[in-house]
Structure 1
Amino acid sequence: MPDTLQDVLLPPDLEKQLASNTNLPSLPVIAVKIIEASKDPDVTLREVASIISADPAISAKLLKIANSPLYSQRRAINNLREALTLLGFNAALTIALSFSLFHSLKVKGHSKCNHDNYWKRSILSAQIARLLGQRFRLSKLEDLFLVGLLQDIGILALENLTPPPYFNYDKMCIKHTERISLERSTLKLEHSCVGAWLLESWNFPPTIVNAVLHSHSLSNHIQVQDKTDSQFHLCLSFSGTLADMWLEENPNELFQSTLEAAGLALNIDADEFSQLVSDINKEMLVISALFDVNFDDEIKQGGILEEAREVTLLRSIHFIKQTEHDQRQIENIAEQVKEITKENQLDYLTKVYNRKHFERLLEEEYENANVNRWPLSIAFIDIDNFKEINDTHGHLVGDKIIVAIADFFSDNIRQTDILARYGGDEFILMLPGSTSHIAEEALRRLIKLLSTSMQINVDDEILTPTVSVGLASHMDINTFDDVESFIRAADKALYKAKAAGRNCLAVY
């Protein structure tokens, strides 16, 4: 197998056929724009959002995948901007490209063979490659998905030639391994070479082109730059082998050989393989909904899963013999740990996040803003004249007002915003993806709403709490070197608001 596409020499007649064939798949306009954007290191949020929002169907798919179990988050994603923030530039572009290519090529496809089976294998391979990438903790999971989806696109190219160059019409519906054997014997190459040629003609990045070129080889001799590249290649190369277990008529017959191959190629044992099969079954429902492809053959899936469970049973008999009482103890302990973890994240009085957990979340969002060049705003919120309220009415009334302020902001901020009690009568609010202008408008509205709507009855006296707010924004009108200076800026703005007479907002 050649190391790069430059080393590939397609037979002259075949290359001529491919280059002149008008029936070959073509890229939709949005796919061309996405490929161009993915190559631009200076691409902006506005540009990415503009490209993707031009196709409402892809925008909807991107929102759907951002809210799917594949990207389970602590908050719902409600718009394209939030989805782009969560996924990141490169991942969002790659996912959008996957949806665009799938929809365009599937609709235009007119292969003589089982077209549905082709796309089932492509989607399964893509999701399996991504799952394997998660196991190796690889960062480019969406690249794995895209290459998994495109690794057999050479088949579409070859089958759209008239006549097909390597076998007759009555032999079109054959197994994948048999197809490759025929290609090697008649064309002296595989459809992965043709697929790489096609992707290069579409101006795909060289990394994607070369990944497709080597997608059908488990050889360890392929030149890679580092261990991560090697693992990326293994995940991709093995994805189709695993996908075939769901598509063959007798999947259980493939189980043992695939298990052995997984042990050699991926260094996973029977228990891990069983878990992998289970994960694939679970995610099949998610991915079928995202791509509108029917994977309803529950008998095959069940047979494979039962085989996997049998192996797990034999390998893990000491766990299965565990008594019901012990199992309940484990579940109780796990539930206690979960509750303790949750309690450690929340403020005991207000039940919003505490300062320690907020600072951990802020570090993550700050890094995300730096990597993706997204705006990020934070605001200190201080209850006006709180010491006077405590001295006059007592600490119980003070606590009641602190809780009321926490409830007010929790009820009136976006699901993507994060509120925490910073200490005493002071709160801090994080607004991911919000520019200074957007955050300022929202906070001024909340200050006004609070001052006109909140009334607390204390011994027949009506208290109307107000707040002062200090706002700072990162990757917008200011850029801060670290989280500490970002927080100090918001704190300075808060003191400015207090000096201006309270019940108002100041911007750093």
Structure 2
Amino acid sequence: MRADLELELQHCRGLPSPPGVALRIIQLAQDPDAIMATASNLIGLDVALSARMLRIANSPLYASRRRVENLSQALTLLGLNATLTLALGFSLARQMSQPGTMSPRDRIWKRSVVAALAARVLGERVGTRQLEELMLAGLLQDIGVLALGQLYPEEYLPLLEQAQGNVGLLQAERDAFGTDHAEIGMKLTRYWNLPDLLCDAIGLSESDGALPEFQACIRLSGLIADIWLTPDTELAHSRAQAACVSQLSMDPGQFNSAVDDVRTMLPDVCEIFDVHIPSPSRIQAILEEAKELTQLRTLRDVQEAARARKEADEFEGHAKRLAEEVRRDALTGIFNRAQLEKVLEMEFDAAQRHGWPLSVAFIDLDHFKKVNDRWGHLVGDEVLRNFAQALQVYLRGSDIVARYGGEEFMIVLPGIDASAAAKVVQRILAEITRLPMTTVDGEPLHVTFSAGLATQGPGAPFPTIEALLTSADQALYVAKRDGRNRVVGA
């Protein structure tokens, strides 16, 4: 910072001072015992300030179901903190505005008004409760321009006139004064004894790097204001959007919604601050284009999500089919031996724990080799498939049917004792004998089977599954030895 500027700031020579009402508002805001009645009496002394407070209470910023008719109603609606903050902003605004001029300082003032509204809108988006403080900091973030223009009018005002946008102005200030208007604004507001939160936000309004949400809203509000006040609206919009996406984690749709809120409310805010800021001719088109892009992006996202869900469902279905294929016999579709062993182990454990019976039956098709030898393996496969399906028809849903290997099958009957199991298998044998398993050369092909039964129960406990199966296998051997086409119990 230049030595003469540092000296001027240290002694506050030639710098603007808050009007009397603003100084008293600052004092009142710092008084923890302040009450609304005192604020109302103070604001009521300034007719112009009272009118602005009434207008802002009736603005879209504080939309009420009924119109506010007097200052007392307005201040009650706003609350003490908002009242003091907004009143201070309106009072200090007189130091910055130059109604009716087209000077560079007038453009800076207009930028401050848009930034004040943008800061508040961004604060609403990120969920901060300090909306009035954001509005005041946004309004004052360029007050350093006023200070430099007042201290060095001959040197600074031409520089302000020639600067190409805010970025160009900052660089020109740093080249000429070794500082910029953000740092000057921070020093000035500290001189006015404003809260540190506001002073720091003003000082960081032109900084780089990550910031807390409050300070980030102030920095980004200036970029949004540039959409209205720089010649290249599209470039300013693009820069502001990229910054908001990066620093506030907003998506493009949220950013454009915020910009549209600024556009909608700006006429009312301009009326309150007695300025005229027309919306750029391109801003509506940019927002419409952005809305269309957002809709297209949303549609694409929906389509991609639907496709992803479909692929996931297909993958899940495929995985289930694969898992089922691992459990099932490829020819007959019933459980294979590996799955039978898993299920049988669970049923055997349950029978032991609860003391209920568990019956198993080994079933072997009689003379099946002759079927293959006489009519071929294709006919033999069809007989095996139809036989497996027939077994399932005559059993309960809780019973288990599995292909043990070749023409051997096993039935597992949970909760069925030896006598009942024998009746079940005998009934199945009778039905199978009657029912043709296929047709060959127009003639029905019938088969029979031999079955060996064993039951795990209170009267005949088996220590292991292997012992139970061995008993059933021995009973099957007896059935085959005694002439087949029969059921034998262990």
- Structure 1 partner of 2:291: 309
- Structure 2 partner of 1:364: none
Alignment of 1:400-419 (within 5 A): none
Is contact 1:274-1:311 (8 Å) kept? no
Q: Deviations over 1:383-433 (max 9, x none)?
A: xxxxxxxxxxxxxxxxxxxxxxxxxxxxxxxxxxxxxxxxxxxxxxxxxxx
How far the C-alpha of 1:82 sits from its partner, in A, is 2.0
- Structure 1 partner of 2:241: 259
Quote the Cα distance in structure 2 between the aligned partners of 1:269 and 1:168: 39
Quote the Cα distance in structure 1 between the aligned partners of 2:40 and 2:14: 32
Q: Deviations over 1:426-465 (max 9, x none)?
A: xxxxxxxxxxxxxxxxxxxxxxxxxxxxxxxxxxxxxxxx
Pairing 1:42–2:33 present: yes
- Structure 1 partner of 2:172: 182
Quick one: structure 1 residues 158 and 108, their matched pair in 2 at CA, closer, same or farther if it must change by over 3 Å?
Answer: farther
Quick one: structure 1 residues 310 and 247, their matched pair in 2 at CA, closer, same or farther if it must change by over 3 Å?
Answer: farther
- Structure 1 partner of 2:61: 70
Residue among 113, 119, 133 paired with 2:109: 119
How far the C-alpha of 1:118 sits from its partner, in A, is 0.9
Quote the Cα distance in structure 2 between the aligned partners of 1:100 and 1:309: 38
Quick one: structure 1 residues 115 and 304, their matched pair in 2 at CA, closer, same or farther if it must change by over 3 Å?
Answer: farther
Is contact 1:274-1:312 (8 Å) kept? no
What secondary structure, in the 3-state scheme, does the structure 1 residue paired with 2:97 have? helix
How far the C-alpha of 1:219 sits from its partner, in A, is 1.9
- Structure 2 partner of 1:250: 232
What secondary structure, in the 3-state scheme, does the structure 1 residue paired with 2:281 have? helix
Residue among 274, 285, 289 paired with 1:292: 274
How far the C-alpha of 1:22 sits from its partner, in A, is 5.6
Q: Deviations over 1:284-305 (max 9, x none)?
A: 1221121121122451432432
Matching residue's letter, 1:135 = R
What secondary structure, in the 3-state scheme, does the structure 1 residue paired with 2:278 have? coil
- Structure 1 partner of 2:198: 208
Pairing 1:103–2:85 present: no
Quote the Cα distance in structure 2 between the aligned partners of 1:154 and 1:114: 13
Matching residue's letter, 2:46 = D
How far the C-alpha of 1:165 sits from its partner, in A, is 5.5
Matching residue's letter, 1:255 = H
Quote the Cα distance in structure 1 between the aligned partners of 2:197 and 2:112: 19
Is contact 1:25-1:109 (8 Å) kept? no
How far the C-alpha of 1:26 sits from its partner, in A, is 2.3
Is contact 2:123-2:131 (8 Å) kept? yes
How far the C-alpha of 1:59 sits from its partner, in A, is 1.0
Q: Which has the larger displacement, 84-93 or 202-211?
A: 202-211
How far the C-alpha of 1:19 sits from its partner, in A, is 5.3
Quote the Cα distance in structure 1 between the aligned partners of 2:301 and 2:281: 27
Matching residue's letter, 2:52 = K
Unaligned residue ranges in structure 1 (runs of 5+): 1-9, 223-229, 322-508
Alignment of 1:137-286 (within 5 A): 137-162=127-152, 168=158, 171-220=161-210, 230-286=212-268
Quick one: structure 1 residues 240 and 33, their matched pair in 2 at CA, closer, same or farther if it must change by over 3 Å?
Answer: same
Q: Deviations over 1:252-272 (max 9, x none)?
A: 123333322221111111211
How far the C-alpha of 1:66 sits from its partner, in A, is 1.0
How far the C-alpha of 1:33 sits from its partner, in A, is 0.5
Quote the Cα distance in structure 2 between the aligned partners of 1:168 and 1:289: 29
Return the TM-score normalized by structure 1: 0.55
Quote the Cα distance in structure 1 between the aligned partners of 2:263 and 2:208: 24
Quote the Cα distance in structure 2 between the aligned partners of 1:109 and 1:115: 12
How far the C-alpha of 1:113 sits from its partner, in A, is 4.4
How far the C-alpha of 1:100 sits from its partner, in A, is 1.2
Pairing 1:28–2:28 present: no
How far the C-alpha of 1:15 sits from its partner, in A, is 2.0
Q: Deviations over 1:3-29 (max 9, x none)?
A: xxxxxxx44311223456765322111
- Give structure 1 regions of 4+ aligned residues with deviation exceeding 6 angstroms: 318-321
Matching residue's letter, 2:222 = G
What secondary structure, in the 3-state scheme, does the structure 1 residue paired with 2:151 have? coil
Quote the Cα distance in structure 2 between the aligned partners of 1:81 and 1:310: 45
What secondary structure, in the 3-state scheme, does the structure 1 residue paired with 2:206 have? coil
Quick one: structure 1 residues 59 and 319, their matched pair in 2 at CA, closer, same or farther if it must change by over 3 Å?
Answer: farther
Quick one: structure 1 residues 219 and 298, their matched pair in 2 at CA, closer, same or farther if it must change by over 3 Å?
Answer: closer
Is contact 2:2-2:177 (8 Å) kept? yes
How far the C-alpha of 1:185 sits from its partner, in A, is 3.4
Question: Cα RMSD between the aligned structures?
Answer: 2.7
- Structure 2 partner of 1:370: none
Matching residue's letter, 1:30 = V
Is contact 2:126-2:248 (8 Å) kept? no
**Bigger radius of gyration, 1 or 2?**
2
Quick one: structure 1 residues 130 and 20, their matched pair in 2 at CA, closer, same or farther if it must change by over 3 Å?
Answer: same
Is contact 2:138-2:221 (8 Å) kept? yes
How far the C-alpha of 1:168 sits from its partner, in A, is 4.8
What secondary structure, in the 3-state scheme, does the structure 2 residue paired with 1:210 have? helix
How far the C-alpha of 1:75 sits from its partner, in A, is 3.0
What secondary structure, in the 3-state scheme, does the structure 2 residue paired with 1:215 have? coil
Quick one: structure 1 residues 42 and 262, their matched pair in 2 at CA, closer, same or farther if it must change by over 3 Å?
Answer: same
Is contact 2:60-2:268 (8 Å) kept? yes
Quote the Cα distance in structure 1 between the aligned partners of 2:282 and 2:264: 14
Is contact 1:152-1:191 (8 Å) kept? yes
Quote the Cα distance in structure 1 between the aligned partners of 2:205 and 2:13: 26
- Structure 1 partner of 2:119: 129
Q: Deviations over 1:309-356 (max 9, x none)?
A: 3432432347999xxxxxxxxxxxxxxxxxxxxxxxxxxxxxxxxxxx
- Structure 1 partner of 2:460: none
Q: Percent identity?
A: 37
How far the C-alpha of 1:34 sits from its partner, in A, is 0.5
Quote the Cα distance in structure 1 between the aligned partners of 2:96 and 2:242: 35
Quote the Cα distance in structure 1 between the aligned partners of 2:44 and 2:283: 37
Matching residue's letter, 2:171 = S
Is contact 1:128-1:242 (8 Å) kept? yes
Higher RCO (CA < 8 A, seq sep 6+): 1
Is contact 1:252-1:303 (8 Å) kept? no
- Structure 2 partner of 1:375: none
Is contact 1:166-1:182 (8 Å) kept? no
- Structure 1 partner of 2:366: none
Pairing 1:56–2:47 present: yes
Is contact 1:158-1:191 (8 Å) kept? yes
- Structure 2 partner of 1:83: 74
How far the C-alpha of 1:278 sits from its partner, in A, is 1.2
Is contact 1:215-1:236 (8 Å) kept? yes
Quote the Cα distance in structure 2 between the aligned partners of 1:268 and 1:162: 40
Matching residue's letter, 1:123 = V
How far the C-alpha of 1:108 sits from its partner, in A, is 9.0
Unaligned residue ranges in structure 2 (runs of 5+): 304-490
Quote the Cα distance in structure 1 between the aligned partners of 2:247 and 2:289: 20
